[in-house]
A = this chain, B = another copy of it.
Amino acid sequence: MKVSSEYLKQFTQDVFERMGCPANEAELAADCLNQADLRGVDSHGVARLSGYVRLWEKQRLNATPQLKLVHETPSTAVLDADLALGLVAGPHAMRLAMDKAKQVGSGWVAVKNSNHYGIAGYHAMLALEEDMIGISMTNASPLVSPTFSKSRFLGTNPIAVAIPAKEEPPFVMDMATTTVANGKLEVLQRKGEDAPQGWAQDKEGNPTTDAFALKKGGAMLPLGGDREHGSHKGYCLGSMVDIFTAVLSGANYGPWVPPFVAFLDPPANPVGDGIGHFFGAFRIDAFRPADEFKDHMDNWIRTFRQAESVQGQPQVLIPGDPERLLTQERQQDGVPMQQAVIEDLEKLASKFELTFNPMQYA
């Protein structure tokens, strides 16, 4: 079943408002989840809405936060998000980074005491409006083992970078620092299929193709999969994200990162506050005239698009292409919804005395 993305967005906004979020913040948060649905990151869209509600019910999430500036220099800042939705703290922090970039060429904002911020790319892409390069990272529930280990010490810790072009669409990368995002394993679970080697390991740290490995105490693997294929590099990248987002900001890092799921309590003896994000903005014309840069970006993109394909394989894609094409499709045809997610939203509607009746918009 496909549902209009506008309908989903409005419903999401209504739920956040019923939680007590101010209307403008509810709208911002709904837009962030909606962009995930449009861009095909189904695990980070409206399917996650009830997860935020459960965190709020456990008082681990503050619907009326007062974001506080903890420290700043002309090009940097640390924000205490006061347990806000990351969906709200993220854009706020990103815009602060952009304001700093306007003043001094670049801006960097580390955020502590936050919650899950949706898709990393949403925040990075805000910079595109102002001819800036945007960077966004977050740490996340520890589900990933460092190379050689069976301890779950890192999240999927994504990195997103958005770079403007002129006539071509922007370059937008948004990648978990693991071989695959958790959502890819969930797809296989639903289909009852095995995972390729290199995606996960079992509880003892052995390679496995069991798509349910994570639920049985196993772990996801850093990008690279195993040492021979460079998993230590994925481990480096995930660690860098953990340090930038949490050790710089004063959030929890490593095994202390509070889990997104409300049925798991955060670890005792936290080493910081909430989870951490990190945002950056470069003003293009802090390096060279924006027009000149964007001409070269167009050339870069067109050159790579014309790379010679391997026989039987698709044309080379530019980072951001698949999500942009899917957005066009879903804006027109609606967002495909699983029955379980629809039922979840119906329960939310009932809890908050709202109506969720997507059939009429299907």
Contacts and interface: CB of A to CB of B under 8 A. Distances in A.
A106 to B, nearest CB: 5
A304 interface: yes
A297 B124 CA distance: 27
Contact of A236 (B173, B271, B314): B173
A303 B153 contact: yes
Q: How many copies does the complex hold?
A: 2
B313 A148 contact: yes
A261 to B, nearest CB: 22
A105 B73 contact: yes
A284 B315 CA distance: 43
Interface in A151-179: 151, 153, 161, 163, 171, 173, 175-179
A78 B287 contact: yes
Contacts of A110: 287
Contact of A150 (B153, B247, B308): B308
A71 B288 contact: yes
Nearest to A243: B163
Interface stretch (A25-33, A86-94, A221-229): A221-229
Given A74-B75, A75-B106, 18 more contacts: A74-B105, A146-B307, A149-B307, A149-B308, A173-B240, A175-B230, A177-B233, A179-B230, A201-B310, A205-B310, A205-B311, A224-B230, A232-B317, A237-B237, A248-B284, A249-B288, A254-B303, A271-B296
